[in-house]
Structure 1
Amino acid sequence: MRAEYKVPGGKLVAIDLDVVEDKLANVAISGDFFLEPDHALDILNKAIDGLPAESSFAQISSAVDEAITDDMTLLGFDSRALATVTRRALGKATTWDDHTFDIIHDQPAHPPMQVALDQAQTEFVESGARGPVLRIWEWASNAVIIGSFQSYRNEVDEEAANKHDVTVVRRISGGGAMFVEPGNTITYSLIVPQSLVDGMTFEESYKFLDQWVIDALAEIGIKAVYKPLNDIASEHGKIAGAAQKRLAGGTVLHHVTMSYDIDANKMLDVLRIGREKLSDKGIKSAKKRVDPLRSQTGMTREAIIKAFLEHFRSRYKTTESHVSEHERARAAELVNEKFGTEEWLKRVP
């Protein structure tokens, strides 16, 4: 078995190995990294050789760490890189090229159905009923989507929400509140198997799963960067926020909302915490709209979505798809049982 791994900001690491009686054998590490002294390569090979074939990422990286001595220098790679490439060789960790992604540009749906579809589709990916998916949302009404652990009354001005015809829903991922209006945001979900982010910390997986859209933004003229933990920003300020949820089996739901052209005064009226978060940016007094995608590109929302999807298709293997009847039926169940209920909405009062 063989695999390669390009360390972000580092060097290429490769590994060849066999599995003999459920143990790793004949391990041979190679690459364009730097390593001193020469015999250190034999030490690293022996650290992995003999490990159980079912070793976890943590077990492999720990075995390598224990073998590294004070007189050894690893440049351009580390024990985590060796664990990643080993898991790839064993088929436990995957790359983007190992998957075909279903692309869905969905029909407009009301807020409870949208957050329910996120959970439903993640469950279907988890069960193997569908492959990884990139779904572009379309909103049928104004909404505030609060994070799984946020306080309802501390985040939302209920009277203002009613005045502006805003539906408040709670999603399954953490993070902060999002204010959306139909046609004024770009929201998408990327649902991937755990193997794609095998061994990554949560922060690493945010950066990893955001990279394609950062590159897509560059193609339309926005020099964007990832800002830990979950923001995408340009030199002019925040463009988007991401949130993640991992199911028990490890499947990752990674969803992002980007501001195209939001009414900031309305947003600040509805979101209590927004008033404090944005107080140092002068938005309430100086701007009536938050419009990074519109103002920084001059493009229509539809043109930006088209550019994003074209970039994703050019980068990865994709197929056109749609929300299945089974997924929509499961989402409807979740609306009735969970996302459309006061109990869920106000589970953190």
Structure 2
Amino acid sequence: MRSLGELRVGNQGLGCMGMSQSYGVGDEAESIATIHRALDLGVTLLDTADVYGGATRPGAPADVSGVGANEELVGRAIRGRRDEVVVATKFGLADPDRKPRGDAAYVKQAVEASLRRLGVDHIDLYYQHRVDPDVPIEETVGAMAELVAEGKVRYLGLSEAGAATIRRAHAVHPISALQSEWSLWTRDIEAEIAPTCRELGIGIVPFSPLGRGFLTGRVTSVADLAEDDMRRNLPRFAEDNFARNTAIVDALRALAAERGVTPGQLALAWVHHQGEHVVPIPGTKRVKYLEENVAAASLELGAEELRAIEAAAPAVAGERYPAEFLKLSNK
């Protein structure tokens, strides 16, 4: 078990977004089987968001008809097993224009919709999905704190927030977790944001700890991706950058072979070794990949191995998001 502030969760969580959007067509039966297997293996933290199911690529207008689909799926999956689950969801990006919202009235509206879709009487960890640049973080977190007082939410989180914002938010109400992208090929938070979280006792929940699947080595070309796969719109998956970034996977594959594990397991184990307050949420909609990811949580790495793994990814070609979505990150 690991701690996100005062919230105790399993060593690794499960990102559920891809079950409903972004990575090709989903299969509800397989997705629910994956969630059930995760619970059987001791994975307690399930991560979703109100917008999941309502967008296909970063920066794209939301498909309003699909908003909430992933929360509904997770709700169906945990029915009868609620006491085994730490439910985490997010608000703030579900408007059609994908503009972040954090005004108090919207916070209260969003939580009621999420509670209904999830079929629960409280949310264990409630995140603001992206910081609203037009609303003081004090107003947003103040409204979220009221939800805690009302028993609708247990713990609060932020996603992709910057260090100064985290400090201001934490001064209003304890922030238990920061969800941000963190992996061998996305290390932006290490300079200032991660140290701030350690100082304040805030857990970190890395999303895309496998580089959106790239670090597993299973994606060998852009042609492997479905036509509606969001990765086709990400700079790091653009043809020239893809070819350059393949060298990272090749180096990881060689190191992994020495340990008898997969490149993805090695990359995920590296994230686990960033601290006891770090709980990655690799996403998958298939049982076999879930089991592979869970096994990585118990892989022990020595100091020399960690240095060798980091050396395998000295530089990454391309930004992690298109410019219009990147501007919302780490603010």
| Structure with the larger RCO, 1 or 2 (CA within 8 Å, 6+ apart) | 2
Q: Radius of gyration: which is bigger?
A: 1
Structure with greater proportional strand content: 1
